[in-house]
Structure 1
Amino acid sequence: MSTTQSERLRGLLEPLVSAADLELEEIEISRAGRRRQLRIIVDSEDGATLDACAELSRAISAKLDETDAMGEDEYVLEVSSPGADRPLTEHRHYARAVGRLVRFQLQDAGELTARVLTVDDEGVDLEVPGVKGRKPTARRIAFAEIAKARVEIEFNRKDKKEEEA
């Protein structure tokens, strides 16, 4: 997708996404045979629900039908949340990951899996799980030290709300 088309779509769709109390994370256009696929990724502090994505999809579809932003060719519109396996790339992504287990690939080629405790403008405070019965340890990583980061899926972890009950 050309930068011009991306910027035009972002300018056109951002007000609709904001009106739905969501944030526009990404716009992707790809080819699927003869058709194009327009994929809009949205998120919020509380996540993007299926109902919110469906409602936003209808609004975006109507807006795109009013304009020539997608041209004359057929396209398929998909509005979705980023999913659990999305890489953490923005400060807000790290802030939303507080309390979650994250796998970090560090600039020095090291790797670390730890729970995010707090996030500020410079970096992330972590709790590194103890090994073989040892207690967890605290560690701080500056954003400049992080090459890649991704939330790890935990199937058997209890939420804090469940633990308090």
Structure 2
Amino acid sequence: MSTTQSERLRELLEPLVSSQGLDLEEIEVASVGRKRVLRVVIDSEDGVDLDTIADVSRALSAKLDETDAMGDGEYDLEVGSPGAERPLKERRHYDRAVGRLARFQLTEGGDLVARILTVDDEGVDLEVPGVKGRKPTARRLAFDAIDKARVQVEFNRKDKKDMKEEEEA
């Protein structure tokens, strides 16, 4: 079985990222002109700030310098977070998106925009916003019914604290 460069890099770098309490979400090696770019996406339960990204970047750079994982040529290392409109691919992504609005592409076709309320091993419970003054409705989606999902940017989003206060009232 052949191992791709990305898989070898993941094996090398994931323990280092995990040791800092972070998840290694994505590794990509791309060519940009004559240079190569190694893009590493990290995240955690509480998100990541710029200081954390800088610390991880330095640690990954040092680890890469002591190996030949990137070969002999020059490359740039870019370390970042998943961003505001992150794709939801794994259970932990859905857990982190509780309370957030997401766009779901369904395996049977069609799209759905709804707020993620709860997550379990089988799927997600959603609140579908009401249209034209109607009340929101509840909906359950199994993970196998979801083709793709992505968090949506909300400028007037309620945070988890506001949602809990509303539930208690």
State whether TM-score is above 0.5: yes
One-letter identity of the residue aligned with 1:10: R
- Indicate yes or no: 2:42 matched with 1:39: no
1:80-128 CA-partner distances (Å, limit 9, x unpaired): 0011222111111111110000111111212111110001111110011
Q: Which runs of 5+ in 1 are unaligned?
A: none
Q: CA deviation at 1:158?
A: 3.1
Identify the residue that residue 71 of structure 1 maps to in structure 2: 71
Identify the residue that residue 27 of structure 1 maps to in structure 2: 27
1: CA distance, partners of 2:151 / 2:8: 31
Q: CA deviation at 1:160?
A: 4.0
Q: How many residues align?
A: 163
Matches within 5 A, 1:50-129: 50-129=50-129
CA contact (8 A) 1:16 1:60 kept: yes
Superposed CA RMSD: 1.5
Given the two structures, how large is their TM-score scaled by the length of structure 2? 0.91
Share of identical aligned residues, percent?
Answer: 73
- What's the secondary structure of 1:132's corresponding residue? coil
- What's the secondary structure of 1:99's corresponding residue? coil
Q: Which runs of 5+ in 2 are unaligned?
A: none
Q: CA deviation at 1:6?
A: 1.9
- What's the secondary structure of 1:8's corresponding residue? helix
CA contact (8 A) 1:28 1:39 kept: yes
CA contact (8 A) 1:103 1:113 kept: yes
1: CA distance, partners of 2:42 / 2:117: 25
